[in-house]
Structure 1
């Protein structure tokens, strides 16, 4: 029997499916989503070389079917790198299984379609061109708040034809820009990477990883968010102005740091060691001349600076 399932993500975005089942009679249900995920129902979003639609087809009684399926899409659904002259169906079971390469068919309504026979199990389906998704497996991606920076860390497995990674940041979760990149090991096995955001934003920031292969095909990871207090809350001095004993309060770090005091001319007049895990330190400035000073907390890479008045 043959049925056409009229569906789409909107009235102007139709993604019909035609199913012709030559096997055991069964009832089918179909829905469509406007994305393709690396593992069919989960994983990173695929953003190249596909039609950005996933058709989820289910049968009431699994087994016994022998179906031919035809999938329709509009040109606006084609992602960058998609070639409708050389495309094929993609069906996810435990991995993506691909149909035969060939050109898409244009109908009288200006829509394209691709047909494949021999389906005996179902859900999910998409349309692909090229070799399919990146073979890279992203094991984890995390953003860790540090006192003055945000540390991005990720782990991968099975890097094949992988060129590099870019870390992108956004203040609103929509508009992203690159803050740095790392070359890929491009070898089998597990690998660990990290990149530090040296000038993080106050408030909530969103980070994602752009995974790029040697042919410039890329996919994005999931997005992770971190929320940071303003520097004012991370680093404070009291009393200020000070007469003798001053207390400096800051967020603890897992690495030792230094605290420098400089005079108005920039000369270092005192240096204190700040052990890891410490959140405050006191020092006596009674012997200092009255005037303007700067308190500098950090290491060779990152520094927080605050003015101090001695009276």
Structure 2
């Protein structure tokens, strides 16, 4: 967990140098332990300490060309000074502000007298104010230990903490480690829209048209990580307008997420009704919710599709649908899709005033196969049926039925407790419904007239069909 502290300077004015952009006294805000190079940036304001938890020393007012330590208390989320005389300069911790050096280095300025800092010359220790900038290299470990090194022309150029003298100065080697805390703003997220509403489509015709908003975030903690976005049931979203998901993460770095477009829409296969919930954004120390609302309407079709089902065959699928009130229908076009989004025609049959139609498809996809009817009227207008799905992960051979042909009783084998199987005639009338209580069940056919019947097993997302001949 990142160590964070807050410093609130009582009744002190923060003086801003317009020319140099330097804060000349400790700013009020939140300071976060630096554990990544992404947190070391030009223009950033930092407190330098000799520790990262409990009572530690922070760089204070200049004292004989060194920086004495000022006691502060670092906890999980706040820092408070143990020095009572906050009104005196000597009792205040001071920021070091980073500027841009050459070749990836930084310049250092202190907040006491708004001057650049440099090591002392010769064999002297110290961290002096200087009229001209000097280049420092800065690196940190994941545990927060900072290495701040001045130009090699100085024999003592490494900023360290001297325990015995209780001050910060430059040394050639030895002394104690130092830590950097960066002044940060609270993590924030910005979206171009506060809510999304008005999603809609007619039942069976989804998904809805997509709506978009832009998303960006700043001052995130830690400096790199992931922001998660999730949408409720009935909705889905995408970063490219093509691949839609219900939940995914996007990586960020440099404590920020650059602006990007988010596409949101209502899913296909929803029943008619109103849908309302929230899209959730979280990560990097922030969270936000965007209300979503839409509806699916029940659009009357020019024909009543009483039922549409898909069945497995040894070679492909058979789609059967029963209709009523068929008027001015020219033909039915069967469409298939592997994802319920992108459909293609796979068969056509002319309307003939029948109560039941069927089409067979042999070139099926592995996994899920979605089907719908495109209903074409004589005047060229069209409408769609609901979408159904048949998964190509089970075969009709899993269900054993014998004897077939039969005379009075058939045996249905390889059932699971709770599974439901049905017996239909070819006119589309359901004759029997049986709930399996054991792996083998008997079905009485004695009172049925001779003919061909359809046995349907509803197995999870699949419908397995067997044709039964009654003598």
**TM-score above 0.5, yes or no:** no
How would you bin the TM-score normalised by the shorter chain?
A: 0.3 to 0.5
